[in-house]
Structure 1
Amino acid sequence: MTVSPALKRRLLLGGSVALLALLFLFVLLRTGPLAPVQVTVAEVKPGRFTPELFGIGTLEARHHWMLGPTAPGRLLTLQVDVGDRVRAGQLLAEMDPVDLDQRLQALDASIARASSVQAAAAAQQADARARRELALSNLRRQQELARQHFISAGALEARGQELASAEAALESARATAQAAAQDALRAKAERAALQQQRANARLIAPADAVVSAREAEPGSTVVAGQAVLRLIDPTSLWARVRLDQGRSAGLVPGLPARLLLRSRPHEPVPARVARVEWLSDSVTEERIAQLSLEQIPPGLSVGEMVEASIELPAIEDSLLLPAASLQRQGGATGVWRLQDGRLAFAPVQVGASSLDGQVQVLAGLKSGERVVVYSQKPLSADSRIQVVEQLIRPAGAARTGP
């Protein structure tokens, strides 16, 4: 039976349409919105786990001083500049003493006068004591003569009056000597206080240090407590680091750490946790730790930014999971678990994490189970997936089947 040309054209057109439909359906299922979602998977494995903490901070000087006057005044001299190394006891600056030296001279004169008064009072006391002894001796002789009726009662009373006068003079001399001693003590105390004020006008280095800041210049007026110079101990540098409170469990002094300085990003500096602050930052939810450098490299600067990695105690035989596989579904934290080629969301309880992207699994998964790590787009329980080695493949790389 012969087929008419019109029928041939219709059959050819119908076949072409069917082929195009099949081709469109194939493209739709392989690369279109109905195509399977490419994912990468990882296996839950047991292993030795070393959690780490990461934080950023700044270099600070553990020992630093702010030198300034204890009384307002004018800065007279300043003998050091920023960067100078100073020795303990070295004179760094001096305030204008104004009239302190003259007042010290006046007090020296007062002390000398008090000493002279003390000497005069001692002489008066010795003279009064001698007069009392003489009056007492005369009274005894007159009493003996009165018993023998050689003198009258009036003469005896006169000798008694002389003794009383001598005792009063002695008490007066003692009081004068005591007053002179108190005046001398007061003058010496005033001089000691004034001498301390004079010493405070001299700014002395409290220890071997480096001048980090110069806050005033000679001739300027500073108030009490204002810093004129700032000193630091260059051998006491440490890092003040802020760490996430949620991951800081187990943070204690003595843990080893590594520091990366902004000036030396490729040279890790060994360090150790020296102190963990009791007060945390409630606004940023961070804990603060001080890390001491085991060896201070040359050329560091206070205030330089650092990145710190602190090694927490190792955990043996823990189930490990890539942290990137954790997802949030319905308010729960879990992973997409792969079972017989299908997806199922499994809530998990995780513990510490490490800086290489591993997290400790406490509950919810078993060893050997496979979970989705990365996916091209958000997943659901009915998503069709295709397991690949990596989502961005090099040119010419082949996909791996599920």
Structure 2
Amino acid sequence: MSKLTRQVAVLAVSVATAAVLVACGGRDEPAAAPVSAASGPTGVPVPDAAASAGKPALTVSVVVPQRSDWSRTLSANGSIAPWQESIVSAEQGGYRLAEVLVNVGDRVKRGQVLARMAVDTVQVELAATRAALAETEATLAEAQANAERARQLQTTGAISAQQINQYITAEKTARARLQAQRARLQSDELRLRKTTIAAPDDGVISARLATVGAVAGNGQELFRLIRGGRLEWRAEVTAAELSQIRTGMQAELQLPDGSTTAGRVRMVAPTVDPQTRNGLVYVDLTAAQAGASAAVRAGMFARGEFALGSTPALTLPQAAVALRDGFQYAFALESEAAPGLWRVKQAKLQLGRRLADRVEVTGGLAPDARVVAQGVGFLTDGDLVRVVDGTPAAAAAPARPASR
């Protein structure tokens, strides 16, 4: 090996040794603590408390739970049905329907003609009855005259007592026949009137089975009528909830098209279905009339709420609540690490009602807790946050989650 080669090898070993020593020396030196621009009494820089506490995860604003009176409601499902539905039938059968004057959805008044039957047969029978009545009246007049003469001759002995009795009996018989004919005339006139089908009450026609030309049977259903056009909501509630509802309570229904309508409890069912263990609540829909609006129709399914009164509630904005693993959490300020810097404590909440953008807290949080208002989805338990809500952090006592 030449002299030049040996010198290059020695130089390479020296450079490698120096690099190792420098590296080892860098690891052994302690890291300098962060210092602030201010100096202590001796002129030595003082470590910054905020820097030593760590870097904040978020800059946040805080809120305090609010107490307010919230209305208490009970939700239920049910169907909309007519208050009462009348069945309009043919009171006599065997006659052909000559006219049908209404259709489904028509509003009718009490006594309004809905349909007419053919009256030819009834009119012929009525004419025959009137003729028989006139004949009976003539027979009675003759019998009365004979009986009167017999009474006048009774004291003279011109006719026997037997003949007198016969004239008087004939008079009574003629009078009875006249009464029978008059009753038959009234019956035929009633049959004629019943060939006209009239509405029994004000309302809306909900079904029509009558057809022109069909022969109606006795008692056959021809129309269905929603009385007064009144509709009701028949809500199903559990047996436990049934006791909370009283007659006269207000209710609000959410209709399928997204609109709402008001109602009032008319009656609470006195029994509970033994199969479902549910009871019915009958709610009059005060503003809804059958056929008046396409939004409310009999047979619809609707969801509604009963107003049970108001109760105090401790509430938070929904943005202050985080959902994790099926549970709800809030982050409350626990301890101050430095001016304006706080550590947060994760609090598991128990929630109740929701109203607009606020939610009721029923457990898990102290009423005076200071809670992170937004961005809670980026926080974890023990994180450091910078508070910029404008309220001096030192002025408020540290708030801890309420024990469960």
TM-score class normalised by the smaller sequence: 0.5 to 0.7
Would the aligned equivalents of 1:66 and 1:229 in 2 still touch at CA under 8 Å?
yes
Say yes or no: does 1:175 pair with 2:202.
no
Q: Who is 1:159 aligned against?
A: none
Say yes or no: does 1:94 pair with 2:90.
no
Say yes or no: does 1:56 pair with 2:77.
yes
Rate the CA distance shift 1:316–1:113 in 2: closer, same or farther, 3 A: farther
Superimposed CA distance per residue, residues 266-296 of structure 1 (whole angstroms, 9 cap, x where no aligned partner): x332211011222432222211111112323
Task: Say which SS state the counterpart of residue 153 (structure 2) adopts.
Answer: helix
TM-score (norm 1): 0.58
Say yes or no: does 1:276 pair with 2:268.
yes
Say yes or no: does 1:130 pair with 2:152.
yes
Q: Who is 2:51 aligned against?
A: none
Rate the CA distance shift 1:130–1:234 in 2: closer, same or farther, 3 A: closer
Task: Say which SS state the counterpart of residue 177 (structure 1) adopts.
Answer: helix
Give the structure with the larger strand fraction: 2
Amino acid at match of 2:144: A
User: Which runs of 5 or more structure 1 residues have no equivalent in the other structure?
Assistant: 1-44, 136-161, 319-340, 342-352, 358-366, 372-387
CA offset at residue 231 of structure 1?
2.2
Amino acid at match of 1:399: T
User: Which runs of 5 or more structure 2 residues have no equivalent in the other structure?
Assistant: 1-65, 315-344, 346-350, 356-360, 366-370, 383-400
> C-alpha distance in 1, partners of 2:199/2:100?
13
Q: Who is 1:85 aligned against?
A: 107
CA offset at residue 176 of structure 1?
0.9
Say yes or no: does 1:208 pair with 2:202.
yes
CA offset at residue 307 of structure 1?
1.3
Would the aligned equivalents of 1:242 and 1:286 in 2 still touch at CA under 8 Å?
yes
Task: Say which SS state the counterpart of residue 81 (structure 2) adopts.
Answer: strand
TM-score (norm 2): 0.58
CA offset at residue 110 of structure 1?
1.9
CA offset at residue 200 of structure 1?
2.0
CA offset at residue 130 of structure 1?
2.1
Equivalences, count: 283
Q: Who is 2:86 aligned against?
A: 65
Task: Say which SS state the counterpart of residue 242 (structure 1) adopts.
Answer: strand
Superimposed CA distance per residue, residues 120-176 of structure 1 (whole angstroms, 9 cap, x where no aligned partner): 11100111122224x1xxxxxxxxxxxxxxxxxxxxxxxxxx36x443333222211
Alignment of 1:132-281 (within 5 A): 132-133=154-155, 135=156, 162=157, 165-233=159-227, 235-263=229-257, 265=258, 267-281=259-273
Q: Who is 1:121 aligned against?
A: 143
Task: Say which SS state the counterpart of residue 188 (structure 2) adopts.
Answer: helix
> C-alpha distance in 1, partners of 2:237/2:250?
15
Rate the CA distance shift 1:356–1:91 in 2: closer, same or farther, 3 A: same
Superimposed CA distance per residue, residues 40-75 of structure 1 (whole angstroms, 9 cap, x where no aligned partner): xxxxx9997854322222222324322120233332
CA offset at residue 97 of structure 1?
4.2
Superimposed CA distance per residue, residues 222-273 of structure 1 (whole angstroms, 9 cap, x where no aligned partner): 333222122224642222222222322122211111111113x2x3322110
> C-alpha distance in 2, partners of 1:228/1:368?
58
Q: Who is 1:306 aligned against?
A: 302
Rate the CA distance shift 1:194–1:368 in 2: closer, same or farther, 3 A: closer
CA offset at residue 301 of structure 1?
2.1
Rate the CA distance shift 1:88–1:58 in 2: closer, same or farther, 3 A: same
Q: Root-mean-square deviation (CA), in Å?
A: 4.4
Worse-superposed segment, 81-90 or 115-124: 81-90
Rate the CA distance shift 1:356–1:274 in 2: closer, same or farther, 3 A: farther
> C-alpha distance in 2, partners of 1:49/1:166?
103
Give the structure with the larger helix fraction: 1
Q: Who is 1:362 aligned against?
A: none
Q: Who is 1:75 aligned against?
A: 97
Rate the CA distance shift 1:368–1:197 in 2: closer, same or farther, 3 A: closer
1:400 to 377, 381, 391: 381
CA offset at residue 312 of structure 1?
2.5
Rate the CA distance shift 1:166–1:284 in 2: closer, same or farther, 3 A: same
Rate the CA distance shift 1:354–1:303 in 2: closer, same or farther, 3 A: farther
Would the aligned equivalents of 1:53 and 1:248 in 2 still touch at CA under 8 Å?
no
CA offset at residue 195 of structure 1?
2.6
RCO comparison, higher one (Cα < 8 Å, 6+): 1
Rate the CA distance shift 1:175–1:234 in 2: closer, same or farther, 3 A: closer
